[in-house]
Amino acid sequence: MPLALYALTAGAFGIGVTEFVIMGLLLEVGGDLGVSVATAGLLISGYALGVVVGAPLLTAMTSRWPRKQVLIVLMVIFTLGNAACALAPSYGLLMAARVLTAFAHGTFFGVGSVVATGLVAPDKRASAIAVMFTGLTVANILGVPFGTWLGQQFGWRATFWAVALIGLVALAVIALLVPRDKSAPQAEDWRADLKAMARRPVLLGLLTTVLGYAGVFAVFTYIAPALTEITGFSSAAVSPILLVFGGGLVAGNLLGGKLADANLVRTVFGTLVLLAVVLGLMTFALQDRIAAVLFVGLLGAAAFATVAPLQMWVLEKADGAGQSLASSFNIAAFNLGNALGAWAGGVVIAHGTGLATIPLVAALFPAAAVLIVGLSLHLDRRQALAAPATC
């Protein structure tokens, strides 16, 4: 893999830290700014909303720019956004800074995925996307725990200053290592790209991503109370167990990329089926400590084994038309799935059968995604068979 790909990984690492580290600092942020923990938790929702809105919007605005220039501008926004978070004197301004930072998130991964696939041979494209997303997985294993510790020891603002520094480093390596675009960007109307996005194969691909990741976050959002209240672990044991989850993320991410390079359709099918099975069995695994730890790792592996295949799936469905926009929309779809899953898990707790059955309900989402993939392939075959008759 070329060095330029690891420059993208550095940017992904910084973005991963800023997205997830707030989860461990809600008490510190709430206490300093005089808001409740629940209100501080809305900083997570605000960030996700910023990704969903900002990904397609910013991608459309920069569609005629050279992709390297887009990546550099995004890292500037990311760095300034985190500096603004560190300086925010009030909750409202912190929320605004978080949303600004989130605007860079979706477009970076969307445009970065297209750049990554252009840096390698055609049979390595999914693996290239997986390498870039490794930055996100390593952020969960190393960056988030360190950022949480830093914020608890020196104040939450120190964490955001540290992330801003990561942004500067990522900006430098991207400027140094990512090659310039080989040709001038095509002067295509972004409305034409949006029209291409409205095609059935792309929309079904995006729906597949939303459903697949809704299952992951329906469980992961409530994994800490599940481990303590159902399995019987102490609160202190949750962080080490989540390291197992992080290890699963890295392994599943790289494996999913390699399998997708070999056969994309089978990998999309297989990883979604695996995710549904792991979630379903986790209902029973949470009753035993050893099984619970094992399945936390399996959940991480199964979850991120879907990422590169789903990203590549949407890129192929876009079929060259507006690929950067399609890729960014798919990053927004991941975040929409996160929000949907967290909401669904909350509904099960508040109005359903409680924590114990969340994994079983969560399994329904990737199972539905498998059905959507099957429908998409069926419609594609019908269209292919009908094509000669209409010529």
CATH architecture of 190-386: Up-down Bundle (1.20)
Which pLDDT belongs to residue 59? 77
Q: Which two tokens stand for residue 145?
A: 């725990």
Query: pLDDT: is 76 or 119 the higher one?
Result: 76
Q: Render pLDDT for 21-66 as a digit per residue (tens, 0 to 9).
A: 887 777 788 889 988 866 777 787 788 888 888 877 887 787 778 8
| Rg over CA atoms, the chain | 20
Rounded to 5°, the CA angle 364-264-13 comes to 80
Domain ranges in the chain are 1-175, 190-386
- Strand ranges for the chain from DSSP E: none
Q: Tell me the pLDDT tens digit for each residue of 323-341.
A: 667 777 888 888 888 778 8
Residue of 220, 210, 272, 201 whose CA lies nearest to 52: 210
Among 112, 89, 107, 10, which Cα is nearest to 50's? 107
Residue pLDDT, tens place only, 157-172: 999 999 999 999 999 9
Question: Can 1-175 and 190-386 be said to share one CATH topology?
Answer: yes
Confidence of residue 221 (pLDDT cuts 50, 70, 90): confident
Task: For residues 256 and 261, give the distance between their C-alpha atoms in angstroms, rounded to a whole number.
Answer: 9
Contacts of 165 (CB under 8 A, 6+ apart): none
pTM equals 0.76
Has residue 353 got a pLDDT over 80?
no
Q: Among 92-101, 129-138, 352-361, which range has the highest average pLDDT?
A: 92-101
- 322 pLDDT more than 50: yes
**Residue 51, pLDDT score:** 84
Reply yes or no on domain 1-175 having CATH 1.20.1250.20.
yes
Q: Is the pLDDT confidence value at 8 over 70?
A: yes
What is the pLDDT, as a whole number, of residue 187?
Answer: 47
The region, left, alpha or beta by phi > 0 then psi within -120 to 50, assigned to residue 181 is beta
The 10s digit of each residue's pLDDT in 206-218 is 888 899 888 988 8
For the chain, what is the mean pLDDT? Answer: 83
Residue 153 exposed, middle or buried by CB count within 10 Å (0-12, 13-18, 19+): exposed
